[in-house]
Chain A
Amino acid sequence: MSKTITLTINGERCELAVEGYRTLLDTLRNEAGLTGTKKGCDVGDCGACTVILDGKPVCSCLVLAAEADGAAVQTIEGLGKNGKLHPLQESFVRYGGAQCGFCTPGMIMMAKALLDANPRPSEEEIRFAIAGNICRCTGYTKIIEAIQAAAEE
């Protein structure tokens, strides 16, 4: 049974027909064509699919698209403006916060949600905020440096 839902994705309102069982993650990737949001586990364990839903970071694999009807979704693609990188994105480039890059979109969205709520987090607060976002390449060292540097800007 498909259902028509309305989502505001990165500021653009769109209508999508989705099956009742379809996750927000699959809807973003396959229906909206926004493949920046990654599928690392599809069961809410890794955080690679983190997006910001009505201001709150969520694992988009744990949200049904139908549940998000009427909501505003922010994905990694909506972060930079006019070809310019968001300070977090710039910081991840500069400080080596991304290696393979597969966790990066989710990591940056989680960091954005943190900085939106707490513009000057301590290192401990950063570590806590990204505790559900698994990175297998960096040891988190440079990710934390990147988030700290972005916060200081």
Chain B
Amino acid sequence: MSDLSVIGTSVRRPDVPGKVTGHARYAGDIALPGMLHAKIKRSTIAHAHIRRIDVSRAAALPGVRAVLTHETVPRVLHYGSPHPRSASVTRDQYILDRKVRYWGEGVAAVAAESEEIAEEALDLIEVEYEPLPAALTVEQALAPGAPVIHERPDNLVVEPVLVKRGDIDRGFAEADFVIEGTYELGRPTPAYMEPNVCLCQWDAEGRLTAWISTQTPFMVRGILAEVLGVPLSKVRVLVDHMGGGFGAKQDLFQTEFLCALLAREAGRPVRLEFTRKETFLGGRSRHPGTVWLKQGFTKDGRITARQGRVTLNSGAYGSHAPGVTSVGTWALTSLYRCDNVHLEGRAVYTNTPIAGAYRGYGVVQTYYALDCQLDEAAERLGIDAAELKLRNAVREGDLSPSGHPIVGHGLEDCIRRGRQETNWPPTKAKQAGRRRRGWGMGCEMHGSSAYPGIKEQGNATVRMNEDGTLQLFTGTTGLGTGAHTALAQVVAEEIGVRFDDVSVVHGDTDVVPWDIGAFASHTTYMGGRAAQMAAAEVRRQLLERAAEALEAAPGDLEIRQGIISVTGSDRRISVRDAIAPQKGVPSVQLVATATYRPTKSYSFAAHFVEVQVDVETGQIDVLQVIAVHEIGRVIHPVAAAGQIEGGIQQGIGHTLTEDYVIDLKDGRSLNAGFVDYKMPLSMDMPPIRTVILETAPDPGGPFGAKGVGEDPIIAIGPAIANAVHDATGVRFRHYPITPEHVVQAMKARSSK
């Protein structure tokens, strides 16, 4: 495959010039004549029935054009995340309900001539609550006699996920020792820079056009149509550029329905934009929770049994809890080999903000536990942790969590390469002073595509213009990762033309082929493969036409840099000439559509980090990160490395500082803003050395490519925790590990 000319080069991304000049249009940048502004009134109680809601004063305020409450919106039970009828999401939401289930839930909406008037109107809406006891923690929600949040008295979102392989009793009996621990996981949020925003307009024929910052425009279209009772042909969702999503913008946030309904009622376009605070209150976090994990080991470091109990806090609604619980729990069957596995995963409703899909999707949580526990086992065994992980690493042919055999030996390669890059194991520094340094490493694997939880499908249409340039029509969404660039590279490579000859059409559900959405690290893998298949068909059509002109068999032709030549001869014709109109006859239309239904592939990573811990202040600084990723085939090296670096940033965040805190007295959000919700900034970020391997290409992806979006956020957490242990001797079994925890732990140790 060394003759690839476009794949593997960091071509100029066509989406970026618009971003650096300010001309790129995001959903929030659109303004329409006569546009109204909407605001949502949010609950001030965690759990209550709405006894009475009076909007008369708000409706009478000059400038108010529409007001909606649960009494005036359609009462349709709908999926919280738009993957209708998939096993990954729940159907437990109404646009507005008679009951509120968390502090900050929307209870009414107003559209007015200005944001200020809309805000003033919210204050005039009177809501009388009949308070209910609230379950603010998983323990409270599971206690006998707990308040029932939805229908199920046990407050479970779905039936528990059960996984049984082998015989754990026999496995534990074979073990020379057993390690057991409970790992507690905080509540990080994706904190994308672009607040959720929606603009809706109905035309005279009853057609809805919605500009929405969403990762899943077709899914949003489907659920809007279903809930609003209109056919799909009358809902058009537009999304051009997006200011990040990181998984969370797969959900519906009440806003989309409310915005559409307000626009219909007012007969005017309505714009609804979240404040930053609302992105916390009404947004989605990663699932907090606990992972209890017990493993048996032999003296030579083999894992004989693994038993785990994953308990995730879903918050007030189910959203992606079934998918996250399943993916996170099943992930524990893999990464490090073990024949005897018994796992149980549960997701529990509580009266807290909603957890949903967020980069890493359950695997961040469970691999934190698994990898930290391997580190602990290595210490017990007196074996280097990287060596122990390498011995147990999943390898070719092992059964992956999705039930497919692992292709290649990506994880072993990552560990080996990381050891070389760092001269592992590091020489142990003397740990006595105030500032102590340590090294740690962590591993991960993550699937491209949501299969088997969601039966996915990617589509693409490729059309050749009469000058030989091409249009790729794709329903995938551009979150900012450069995926559309990668897809265009795939098309250019497959056909044999220059990258600049391919343009990407996207972002309009009326125009592009249906797509399931941009998530699950699958856009390049699935959308790219569909694009490759469509491109291959256009190439075939083109060669058939060129064969006549060149008087050769299509099979004897090749295309490079836009030139079609007969192999082994000097006969050639440009793609442009091959397709050009001739003697007044228009060009033939070369167009192809392809559908790809992927199963799954796995990407791998090993992260090696050095930290410094100030044992007096508790401050943990990450000094450097060496990130080794195996992703099959790198299509755009700069974009791939950029995603890795960004994932590491978010991973450092949730491991050390990021935690969306809910007051356990009343369910109120305590840090819904960027001053109190602390993310790593430019001064906090260490140098990152990114190494990308292509040693285990997957036949399911274009040119062997696999996903990379979620991988980098997973291994960094345990790597840091393990490094902190190396520096301080304290083993933290939770995240975030804050300065207070370090100081307390150091004090507790010195008082022993």
Q: A interface vs B, CB < 8 Å?
A: 21, 29-30, 34-43, 45-46, 48, 75-77, 79-80, 85, 88-89, 92-105, 108, 126-128, 130-144
Contact = CB atoms under 8 A, between A and B. Distances in A.
Contact of A138 (B273, B275, B646, B683): B646
A138 B649 contact: yes
A79 B19 CA distance: 13
A39 B683 CA distance: 23
Nearest to A144: B682
Contact of B673 (A45, A103, A144): A45
Nearest to A26: B115
Contact of A102 (B20, B26, B481, B673): B26
A72 to B, nearest CB: 18
A80 B21 CA distance: 7
Given A45-B673, A99-B480, A108-B20, A127 B682 contact: yes
B642 A99 contact: yes
A135 B275 CA distance: 18
B624 to A, nearest CB: 12
Interface string B242-255: 11101000000000
B683 A141 contact: no
Given A105-B22, A128-B683, A140-B649, A96 B194 contact: no
Nearest to B25: A35
A103 to B, nearest CB: 5
B195 A92 contact: no
A85 B20 contact: yes
B425 interface: no
Interface residues of B, number: 58
A101 B18 CA distance: 9
Nearest to A101: B19
Nearest to A33: B31
A103 B273 CA distance: 17
22 contacts: A36-B23, A40-B276, A41-B674, A45-B276, A46-B674, A48-B193, A76-B22, A94-B12, A99-B480, A99-B481, A99-B639, A99-B646, A100-B193, A100-B194, A100-B480, A101-B241, A102-B192, A128-B683, A137-B193, A138-B645, A139-B648, A139-B688
A85 B454 CA distance: 43
Interface of B: 10, 12-13, 15-26, 28-29, 31, 116, 190-195, 241-244, 246, 273, 275-276, 479-482, 638-639, 641-643, 645-650, 673-675, 679, 681-683, 685, 687-688
Contact of A133 (B244, B649, B682): B682
Contacts of B10: 96
Contact of B244 (A46, A80, A127, A137): A137
B688 A141 contact: yes
Nearest to B640: A96
List the 6 shortest-distance A-B pairs measured between CB atoms, nearest first: A36-B22, A100-B480, A101-B19, A102-B243, A139-B645, A76-B22
A126 B638 CA distance: 21
A100 B244 contact: yes
Contact of B642 (A77, A130, A133, A142): A142
Contacts of B641: 96, 142
Contact of A98 (B19, B23, B273, B674): B19
Given A100-B243, A130-B682, A46 B16 contact: no
Given A99-B482, A137-B480, A77 B645 contact: no
Given A99-B642, A102-B193, A93 B17 contact: yes
Nearest to A106: B193
Contacts of A98: 16, 19-20, 480
A79 B21 contact: yes
Contact of A93 (B20, B29, B275): B20
Contacts of A85: 17, 20-21
B240 to A, nearest CB: 11
